[in-house]
Chains A and B, each alone.
Chain A
Amino acid sequence: MTAADYRAIFLAELCRIAPDIDPETVGDGDHIQDDLGLDSMDVLNLVVALHDRLGVDIPEKDYPQIATPTLASDYLSRNV
Chain B
Amino acid sequence: MGVFAMPSLGADMEAGTLVEWLVKPGDKVHRGDVVAVVETQKGAIEIEIFEDGTVQEILAELGSELPVGAPLAVVLAEGNAPPAAAEAPEPALPSQPPTDAPDAAPSPARPPAPRPAPPPATDRPRASPAARQRADALGVDISTLRGSGPGGAILLADVEHAAPGRPAAKPSPIEEMRKAIAAAMTRAKRTIPHFYLSETIDVDPAIAFLEDRNAGLPPDQRILLGALFVRAATLAAAKVKVMNGHYIEDRGFVPSEAVNTGVAIALRSGGLVAPALMDAGSMTLAETMAGMRDLVTRTRAGRLRGSEMTEGTITVSSLGETGAEAMTGVIFPPQVALVGIGAPHLRPWVVEDAVVPRHVVTLTLSADHRVSDGRQAARFIAVFEDLMKRPEDL
Contact = CB atoms under 8 A, between A and B. Distances in A.
Q: Chain A: interface residue count, which band?
A: 20 to 34
B146 A22 contact: yes
Given A33-B322, A37-B268, A45 B293 contact: yes
B300 A57 contact: no
B220 A51 contact: yes
Interface stretch (B162-170, B195-203, B211-219): B211-219
Interface string A34-71: 00110111101101100100000111100000000000
B218 A57 contact: yes
Contact of B224 (A21, A36, A40): A40
Contacts of A58: 219
B141 interface: no
B283 interface: no
Interface stretch (A2-10, A12-20, A72-80): A12-20
A24 to B, nearest CB: 11
A41 B219 contact: no
A20 B152 contact: yes
B218 A51 contact: yes
Interface in B327-343: none
Given A39-B320, A41-B224, A20 B297 contact: no
Nearest to A57: B218
B68 to A, nearest CB: 28
Interface in B164-200: none
B98 to A, nearest CB: 35
Contacts of A37: 268
Nearest to A34: B322
Contacts of B220: 48, 51
A78 B321 CA distance: 28
A18 B150 CA distance: 10
A52 to B, nearest CB: 8
Contact of B211 (A33, A47, A60): A60
Contacts of B222: 44, 60
A33 B146 CA distance: 23
Contacts of A21: 268
Contacts of B25: none
Interface in B261-302: 266-269, 292-293, 296-297, 300-301
Contacts of B321: 40
Interface in B350-366: none
Given A40-B224, A41-B293, A19 B152 contact: yes
A58 B214 CA distance: 11
A45 B293 CA distance: 8
Given A37-B268, A48-B219, A58-B219, A20 B214 contact: no
B10 interface: no
A21 B214 CA distance: 29
Contact of B215 (A19, A51, A59): A59
B205 interface: no
A58 B173 CA distance: 37
Given A19-B301, A33-B322, A60-B222, A41 B211 contact: no
Contact of B297 (A17, A36, A40): A17
Which of A17, A19, A33 lies at the interface centre, i.e. has the most chain B CB atoms within 10 A of its CB? A19
B293 A20 contact: no
Nearest to B153: A19
B151 interface: yes
Which of A20, A51, A57 lies at the interface centre, i.e. has the most chain B CB atoms within 10 A of its CB? A20
Interface in B105-130: 126
Given A42-B300, A51-B220, 13 more contacts: A17-B300, A19-B151, A20-B267, A22-B146, A36-B268, A39-B296, A40-B224, A44-B293, A45-B297, A47-B219, A51-B219, A57-B219, A60-B211
7 contacts: A19-B126, A36-B268, A39-B266, A40-B224, A41-B224, A51-B219, A60-B214
Interface of A: 17-22, 33, 36-37, 39-42, 44-45, 47-48, 51, 57-60
Interface of B: 126, 146, 150-153, 211, 214-215, 218-220, 222, 224-226, 266-269, 292-293, 296-297, 300-301, 320-322
